[in-house]
Copies of this chain bind each other. A is one copy, B any other.
Amino acid sequence: MAIKRHNPHACDAWQLLVKFSFTQNTQVSPLAAELELSPAQCHVLRLLEPDKPIPMRQLADGLCCDASNVTGLVDRLESKGLVRRTASDEDRRVKVIELTPKGARLRAAFMERMAAPPEGLERLSVREQQTLVRILARLLE
C-alpha cells in the first residue's frame, strides 16, 4: 500500500483509532440494555440533539441505513414517549422528529455514560491531553 510506505506514522495512528472505535462500539450494547433501549435506538437519540428537530430522511443519512428502517425505529421510540413526529410546514412530504423531555433525559444519560473517560486518560499529563485534543480536532474536523 503506497500510503503506508510513505506515511507509516499516519497509518499507525489511524489503525489505533480504528481499533479503538471497534472496541468502543461493543460498549454500546450493554449500556443500551441498561437503559432499556436497543443500540439502534441509542444511535437515533444520539443524532437528535435537544431542541433541534430533524427530518426522518436526515436520520436515515446519519444512521447510514435505508429510509424504510427509520419508520419502525421512530415508531418504537414514539411509543416509548421518547420522540415526537411533526409534519413540516415548508414541505408537506417531510416529517421532523424531535426529542420529548423524557427522550432528552435518556439521551443525556446515554451520552454521559458513553463519554465517561477511561482510567488510561488520567495517566496522561495535562500537556499530552491538550496535544491530543488539538490533533484530534484537526483530524476529525
Contact = CB atoms under 8 A, between A and B. Distances in A.
Interface of A: 1, 3, 7, 9-27, 29-30, 43, 46, 62-65, 112, 114-118, 120-124, 126, 128-133, 135-141
A35 to B, nearest CB: 15
Given A27-B64, A135-B132, A13 B140 contact: no
Contacts of A13: 121, 129, 132-133, 136
B24 A18 contact: yes
A44 B135 CA distance: 31
Contacts of A114: 18
B16 A136 contact: yes
Given A9-B129, A64-B30, A126-B9, A117 B25 contact: no
